[in-house]
Structure 1
Amino acid sequence: MLKWLSTSFWDFIASKILRNKIGLLILVALFTLFMASQWKYIKFTNTEANLLPASEKANIEYNSFLEKFGEEGNLIVVGIQDSLIFSPKIYASWEKLMLQLKQNKEVEVIISLNDLKRLQKNDSLSTFELTALLDPAKTKDAAYLKERKKELLTQMPFYEGLLYNKSGIIRSAIYLDKKIVNTPERKNLVLHKIIPAIEAFEKETKVDLHVSGMPYIRSLNSEYIISEISLFIGAALGITSLIFFFFFRSFRTTLISMCIVIVGVMWSFGFLGLLRYEITVLTALVPTLMIVIGIPNCIFLTNKYHQECRIHGNQAKALVRVITKVGTPTLITNLTTSFGFATFIVTNNELLKEFGVVTSINIIALFFLCLFVIPVAYSYMSIPKERHLDHLERSYAVSFLNWIQKTIKSKRTIVYTVAILLLATGIFGIFKMRISGSLIEDMPKKAAFFDDIVFFEKEFDGVMPIEIMIDTKKKKGVMKLTTLKRMDELQETIDSIPELSKPISIVNLVKYSKQAYYNNNPEYYELPTSQEQAFILSFAKNSVKNSKDNIMKSYVDETGQYTRITTFIKDEGINNLDIIESKLQSKIDELFPKERYEVSITGKAVVFQKGTKYLLDNLLQSLLLSVFITALLIAFMFRSIKMIVVALVPNLLPLLMTAGIMGYFNIPLKPSTILVFGIAFGLSVDDTIRFLAEYRQALTRNNWKIKKSVFATINESGLSMFYTSVVLFSGFSVFMLSSFGGTIALGGLVSITLLFGMLSNLVLLPSLVLTLNKTLANQQEFVEPTINILSDEEVGEVDKIEFNEFDEEDIEEENSNEK
């Protein structure tokens, strides 16, 4: 049946394509319109990518935390130097800004200087009352503001780390409604309300504010991703069209290829909408990938068409041979690439699953688009002129192919020596690689909001939250003094870890309660003694219960059974999170007996770090799966185990070289860079399969003469492999225009890997075939592969297809000449 696939099948396909040209073009147009109709379902993701599957323990603990305390990433902070804000004019503008932001229904509460509260003891009600730190009627008095500044910085340690730090930075904490954090309303609030208000403040006062927080970062990050989609598509179209024209020197040929990949881009957006996938940092790359991957198909089909026109000058015969001779190798290479991307589906990660599904589907769809449209388009054009065929014998191309042939003919020892040295160099570099879970490493470093991230990293010790959730297993167990003391001791441990910020919990409020009970003397900012607990804790409980604007209410659940300790980790500490977590867990085990407490360490920082490691493990597995599938495909095609070695060695060497480069240049292993290996392997192995398919065909033409067949294969496919590698190299280079470190690394590393892959497939692969020719030429093993590639004799039969009336005369003339 598979032999029928390689002869009668492509015979049938060629006849159908060239006899039904108008119908095919209409079908493509209708399908394109259908895909365009699906664009209305395209949405940008409003949620953060969770890299862990739902069944993972870290994910279960994090979801349990969210059930108890709601979304944690709802805080936006705005910072200003204290010497500026405590001046009457700027304070007035600041107060105006905060009041304006508070009017938005999406804002839950704002803790800011203008409405900062101090605790005051009310003996008659046995509670603490919140009184304003600043009297609005006196804020025009500079001396008054100076006095209140001193009180804040010296007598209110409760707010240290939350609203001010010791270096003199004042900030406001803007807590958003948790229900809108993962919805489009969050982005609308940030972009169209908060940012314009802050810009108006800066314009009015000539003072720069620093703004950060996860809702703010995520909103601006998504805007950069959206803007880069058009940048990548435009750059990829521009550079690939220029290279295509440089190779073929034909405006019409270039225009046809560009139209095909543009339609492919339209289909890629359509599939995103059809599958109801959101645009994420990965799926945003798919349209550009379709351009980069689609152009090689156009090059191989066009190059084969030009080669056939140069040989016999018969357009009808050339068009038929484009389909029948290139159909199977091109289908196999596209399937290989598609399988390479499809391996991401097995990673058990939704982000990668969607990327793998939509990319693999688009690659196959793009293959059929090229196969249907290119022969039909060329059939309506006149046969290429001599100047359009000159690229086949252009001096640089001839020199390049001659160099390859001389190298593999007489310098194979040097080839193997260089390959072994590169292998050793790559392996040595691998041991220098490091794994990174950094949040800000991949963010656009030229963006203004990146500077603000760095600012708050420095001033307030981190932006990624770590949450410690404590279950006391008893209702109202949180406010027991024994529990509070255990929490306080744990917070002291957190304070001692340089990578972590000052912790915040209900303990802070209880300490502030004791200070307030003793007339706000900062020396009493500590937990009450056992003798003081009865009256001070009762005051504190009433304070929490009666205060609607007290942010501490979100640190104890309604039952009083669960509480949380929040700290933030510096980005530089993310990579040491395992050590930090181990230190905290050791202290937790010491302080909180398991029979009385259940304590979990969670939060975005923990989930992100564990998700990164989980993803790296899964991506390595998907790469191994891709190699295994390729090996099976080679064995299936050629029924030769030895061919698997010949095929895989030239493709694994570039991957090892790239891994070594990452080690030498301190490029960390992370989700964005681990993608390099799967993508590059899937694209590089295409050249290997195409070379071996052409080599198999050359063997049958040349009566199993190994050397002659190898050199004939280089002459037949070498130029196309060179052209496509240049296009792929340049196409992936456009990702280096990105503002995101991960995308830059992806583009640069894939380009380097493909460059190594081209040289490996053009030099090392044929060298291995020549060296192992005695075993690989064993006709008992190799003469009848599972998938047969059309020989020239078989194609001669296919050439007689009558696919259109205006070509019949050409075919009759051809048959007459053959007779």
Structure 2
Amino acid sequence: MQKSRNPVLRFPRLIIVLCLAIFAVSAAGVFRYTLSYDTRVFFDPEGADLAKLRAFDAKYGQNNDVLMVLWADGRKITEPEVLAALGDLVSRAWRLPHSTRVDALTNFPHVSADDDSFTVADLVPDPANVTAEEARVIERTALGDSLIRNRLLSADARAAGILVNFNLPAEASVEVQEIVAASRALVAEFEARHPGIEVKLTGNVMLMATFSEAALNDIKVLIPISLIITSLVMFVFVRAVLPSIAILSLLGLSSAAAMGLAGWYGYEINTATVACPIIIMTVNMAAAVRIVTTAMGALGRGVGRHEAIAEAVSMNLWPVTLTNATTMIGFLAMNLADAPPLRQQGNVVVVGICLAYVFTFTWLPALLSLMPLRPAVQRSERVMVLLGHFVNRYYRQLFFLCSVIVVSCAMWLGNIRLDDDFARYFDWRFDYRQDSDFAEEHLTGLNIIEFDVGSGEDGGVFEPGYQERLAAFEAWLREQEGVVSVIAIPEVTRRVHDAMNAGRAAEALPGDRETVAQYFLLYELSLPYGVSLNDQINVSRSSSRVTVILRKMSSSQIRDLDERATAWLADNVPPAMQAQATGINVLFANLSGVNIRSMMLATLVSVLLIAVVVGIALRSAVFGALSILLNMLPSLVGFGLWGLLYQDIGLAASVVTAMTIGLVVDDTIYFLLMYQQARKGGLDPEGAINHVFEVVGVAMLVITVSLTVGFGTLAFSGFEVNRSLGAMTALVILSNLFIDWLMLPPVMRIMENARVRRSGTTVA
């Protein structure tokens, strides 16, 4: 390709201006971005599970809360001074913006009755004036109450919870920011007024804020780290400052423009899309480095600057086109994921790959043509030639060794557990994680599952049979491991019944519907301000809510409890009362499995499409079929090593295989292209393999190092899904280099030997 025939090299300044114009228009979309504060962003808006949760919220109200955990340096909460401070915090919590209800030890509705009266009043009516004797009575009463113990007061009475509920609109970014800011300001002021007492903040609203904080933290931390590491990797391979800057500018333009276009389209910044710039820079780095090193190598042979750049573009156009196509297939397959952020991540990366492809063959050569380039002396090829000779000499032994390793990794797959912990998606750099761990250690559980238990008729919740069966379900739940509290309406019935029959022998629950209905009417009329049963029973009184609070339960344990609870209901209650668990924790517990099932099809589609692309591009059905086998092995090896080293996989694992299929095939394509050309050029299999290592061995190393280091950057993320995604992808990509260097060449030799034997037999 001559300069006179290449418009990029003929008009480099014009090309640069046009590229900058495309970048400016595209990147302007970043100003349209908004931060997502929604914990439900990971669920399909049209999915059945989310629809079920929305219906539950519509029936019983939203579960948007902030849990304040009060800790007095190990002192008992029931000490008069601490109770006074608790009462002060409760009264101030009512003033938080958008608050609708505050539940705490002091204002807990305590039922009492005598021969003449029935009352439901605050357990601590005047927290500021409690005597030592009253404090002992309060502690004894609270710890004997299953709705207070391990929920609003710890079992050792040394931590207390204030649960503030909020009414939020569907899109609540502004409201969440207001609540979080006000809550933190309240805590700071309270701790200043009460030295020696501290307050931890957790709960669903704080979690919403932490999702956005994690996204911002990744922007501030990961992108600078990625740029530094990318610069170092490029300098190692390019060994020149100006060409490295040219590559960096290409990667920066591509990632920023892709993010801008996503902003124009209406995407939000969330914990998944925030990783897109890093992934875009990572997957496009190798092609740019390859073009620069090829051009500098041509300069080393005495070729002129423009001719060297044109030669580099010409040599790499087809391989880069092919590898970009297969990479895009892998990321497009993420559209079959159930989690919308993963779909968005795949789409943004695909846009970034397209933009980088255009800029690689326009912006980069135009910029290089205006730079003083130095010839490069390629020494790495010598090492690659030696590696090629080694592989050829011991190809049978290497094939056996690699096969043993692959089989071993396949066996280690059995160690993998589909498990994660939604409450610990964030690491210790976030206050939410520290405060949540403190809350679970000292007060209560943070995983909550809900059951909507119907009765089959209006007013049916007052039926004695319904109450008895629900009480049995409540008792069964309390016996399960990890359950710290269960909230259900039979407890209300039992309390009123006991109070109304104080001092007299009575059945555990009343035996007629009218009495139960009267109990609930009396109870609701006696409740203090801000408290009702509307969050426990629906309007028609045909169904009620059972809330189960779990401590330190992983996703697999939540799924197991859900299955056992569903089975218990199926065996012990009529069909109208049968239910399955719902709640945000249940949705997250099922998320990994749902996505893995949906991505199985995506992986299959990716593998087949890539095989077709490779087969058509190389005009060889054998090579297409070979790509299917060899490009599944890196995932098998990578996941096997993960099973050996870590065991647990979660949401990230659902997309790794489909995504990496398009990445790991890059090395295979380079190898097969050069091997095919060498064989057509008359080289025998051994000579062709040596030629491949000499010509593209370094390119394969560049691809692997850039991808491994780039995805490895995600290990610095504070968000577990991004950390796991980066680590698992890096492991699979490293496994791929092992397969392509030490197993693919022996496979080619064995196939060629078999073909020769068949030909010889035929001739004979």
Task: State if a TM-score over 0.5 links the two structures.
Answer: yes
Letter of the structure 2 residue corresponding to residue 562 of structure 1: S
2:543 to 537, 549, 562: 562
1:167 matched to 2:156:
yes
* RMSD over equivalenced CA pairs, Å: 3.0
Q: Tell me by how many angstroms 1:135 deviates.
A: 2.2
Structure 2 equivalent of residue 615 of structure 1: 595
Structure 2 equivalent of residue 277 of structure 1: 267
Structure 1 equivalent of residue 75 of structure 2: 83
Q: Tell me by how many angstroms 1:212 deviates.
A: 2.2
Structure 2 equivalent of residue 724 of structure 1: 703
Q: Tell me by how many angstroms 1:224 deviates.
A: 2.4
Q: Tell me by how many angstroms 1:149 deviates.
A: 3.1
Q: How many Å separate the matches in 2 of 1:278 and 1:711? A: 49
Assess, with a 3 A threshold, how the Cα gap between structure 1 residues 607 and 524 changes in structure 2: closer, same or farther.
farther
Assess, with a 3 A threshold, how the Cα gap between structure 1 residues 46 and 448 changes in structure 2: closer, same or farther.
closer
Q: Tell me by how many angstroms 1:50 deviates.
A: 6.0
Work out whether residues 80 and 128 of structure 2, in 8 Å CA contact, stay in contact via their aligned partners in 1.
Answer: no
Secondary structure at the counterpart of residue 482 of structure 2: coil
Letter of the structure 2 residue corresponding to residue 584 of structure 1: A
Q: Tell me by how many angstroms 1:353 deviates.
A: 1.9
Q: Tell me by how many angstroms 1:598 deviates.
A: 5.3
Structure 2 equivalent of residue 791 of structure 1: none
Unpaired segments ≥5 residues, structure 1? 1-9, 781-819
- Note the alpha carbon deviations across 1:567-609, whole angstroms, 9 max, x for none: 0234435313444233322332344322x54534322233222
Structure 2 equivalent of residue 42 of structure 1: 33
Secondary structure at the counterpart of residue 468 of structure 1: strand
Work out whether residues 232 and 735 of structure 1, in 8 Å CA contact, stay in contact via their aligned partners in 2.
Answer: yes
Q: How many Å separate the matches in 2 of 1:541 and 1:223? A: 45
Moved more, 723-732 or 194-203: 194-203
Q: How many Å separate the matches in 2 of 1:209 and 1:464? A: 20
1:739 to 698, 718, 728: 718
Q: How many Å separate the matches in 2 of 1:553 and 1:649? A: 58
Q: Tell me by how many angstroms 1:275 deviates.
A: 1.8
Taking only the aligned residue pairs, the percentage that are identical comes to 15
Q: Tell me by how many angstroms 1:739 deviates.
A: 2.7
Q: Tell me by how many angstroms 1:310 deviates.
A: 2.1
Q: How many Å separate the matches in 1 of 2:235 and 2:577? A: 70
2:52 to 55, 61, 86: 61
Structure 1 equivalent of residue 762 of structure 2: none
Assess, with a 3 A threshold, how the Cα gap between structure 1 residues 600 and 738 changes in structure 2: closer, same or farther.
closer
Q: Tell me by how many angstroms 1:768 deviates.
A: 2.8
- Note the alpha carbon deviations across 1:126-167, whole angstroms, 9 max, x for none: 86443562325624x55543443344334x454334322422
1:201 matched to 2:190:
yes
1:583 matched to 2:564:
yes
Q: How many Å separate the matches in 2 of 1:252 and 1:87? A: 70
Q: Tell me by how many angstroms 1:636 deviates.
A: 0.9
Secondary structure at the counterpart of residue 163 of structure 2: strand
Q: How many Å separate the matches in 2 of 1:321 and 1:508? A: 81
Assess, with a 3 A threshold, how the Cα gap between structure 1 residues 446 and 270 changes in structure 2: closer, same or farther.
closer
Give runs of aligned pairs for residues 791-810 of structure 1, distance below 5 A: none
Moved more, 742-751 or 487-496: 742-751
Q: Tell me by how many angstroms 1:710 deviates.
A: 3.1
Give runs of aligned pairs for residues 130-529 of structure 1, distance below 5 A: 130-131=121-122, 133-136=124-127, 138-139=129-130, 141-154=131-144, 156-180=145-169, 183-203=172-192, 204-382=194-372, 384-386=373-375, 389-390=376-377, 392-393=378-379, 397-459=380-442, 462-518=445-501, 527-529=508-510
Assess, with a 3 A threshold, how the Cα gap between structure 1 residues 599 and 761 changes in structure 2: closer, same or farther.
closer
Secondary structure at the counterpart of residue 486 of structure 2: coil
Assess, with a 3 A threshold, how the Cα gap between structure 1 residues 103 and 578 changes in structure 2: closer, same or farther.
closer
Structure 1 equivalent of residue 534 of structure 2: 553
2:91 to 88, 99, 118: 99
Work out whether residues 710 and 766 of structure 1, in 8 Å CA contact, stay in contact via their aligned partners in 2.
Answer: yes
Q: How many Å separate the matches in 2 of 1:586 and 1:295? A: 53
Work out whether residues 211 and 271 of structure 2, in 8 Å CA contact, stay in contact via their aligned partners in 1.
Answer: no
1:541 to 501, 521, 541: 521
Letter of the structure 1 residue corresponding to residue 718 of structure 2: S
1:760 matched to 2:739:
yes
Letter of the structure 2 residue corresponding to residue 721 of structure 1: M
Work out whether residues 146 and 485 of structure 2, in 8 Å CA contact, stay in contact via their aligned partners in 1.
Answer: no
Q: How many Å separate the matches in 2 of 1:524 and 1:665? A: 61
Work out whether residues 515 and 524 of structure 1, in 8 Å CA contact, stay in contact via their aligned partners in 2.
Answer: no
Structure 2 equivalent of residue 6 of structure 1: none
**Count of matched residue pairs:** 755
Work out whether residues 439 and 571 of structure 1, in 8 Å CA contact, stay in contact via their aligned partners in 2.
Answer: no
- Note the alpha carbon deviations across 1:26-85, whole angstroms, 9 max, x for none: 121112211232112212222224666566554443333222123234352424368343
- Note the alpha carbon deviations across 1:353-398, whole angstroms, 9 max, x for none: 212211112111111112111111111123x334xx13x12xxx24
Q: Tell me by how many angstroms 1:213 deviates.
A: 1.6
Secondary structure at the counterpart of residue 572 of structure 1: coil
Work out whether residues 251 and 284 of structure 2, in 8 Å CA contact, stay in contact via their aligned partners in 1.
Answer: yes
Assess, with a 3 A threshold, how the Cα gap between structure 1 residues 775 and 329 changes in structure 2: closer, same or farther.
farther
Letter of the structure 2 residue corresponding to residue 560 of structure 1: R
Letter of the structure 1 residue corresponding to residue 90 of structure 2: M
1:629 matched to 2:619:
no
Secondary structure at the counterpart of residue 38 of structure 2: coil
Q: How many Å separate the matches in 1 of 2:546 and 2:442? A: 20
1:695 to 670, 675, 696: 675
Moved more, 61-70 or 633-642: 61-70
Secondary structure at the counterpart of residue 211 of structure 1: strand
- Note the alpha carbon deviations across 1:142-194, whole angstroms, 9 max, x for none: 5543443344334x454334322422244334333232485113431343111
Q: How many Å separate the matches in 2 of 1:52 and 1:112? A: 32
Letter of the structure 1 residue corresponding to residue 726 of structure 2: G
- Note the alpha carbon deviations across 1:248-298, whole angstroms, 9 max, x for none: 221111111111111122113202202211122221110111121222121
Q: How many Å separate the matches in 2 of 1:525 and 1:192? A: 51
Letter of the structure 2 residue corresponding to residue 333 of structure 1: T
Q: How many Å separate the matches in 1 of 2:724 and 2:88? A: 44
Q: How many Å separate the matches in 1 of 2:222 and 2:638? A: 23
Assess, with a 3 A threshold, how the Cα gap between structure 1 residues 678 and 14 changes in structure 2: closer, same or farther.
farther
2:8 to 6, 11, 17: 17
Unpaired segments ≥5 residues, structure 2? 760-764
Assess, with a 3 A threshold, how the Cα gap between structure 1 residues 525 and 315 changes in structure 2: closer, same or farther.
farther
Moved more, 459-468 or 269-278: 459-468
Letter of the structure 2 residue corresponding to residue 496 of structure 1: E
Moved more, 707-716 or 422-431: 707-716
Letter of the structure 2 residue corresponding to residue 557 of structure 1: N
Letter of the structure 1 residue corresponding to residue 564 of structure 2: K
Work out whether residues 424 and 433 of structure 2, in 8 Å CA contact, stay in contact via their aligned partners in 1.
Answer: no
Letter of the structure 2 residue corresponding to residue 168 of structure 1: A
Structure 1 equivalent of residue 65 of structure 2: 74
Work out whether residues 616 and 670 of structure 1, in 8 Å CA contact, stay in contact via their aligned partners in 2.
Answer: no
Structure 2 equivalent of residue 115 of structure 1: 107
Q: TM-score, length-normalised on structure 1?
A: 0.85
Secondary structure at the counterpart of residue 101 of structure 2: strand
Work out whether residues 635 and 643 of structure 1, in 8 Å CA contact, stay in contact via their aligned partners in 2.
Answer: yes
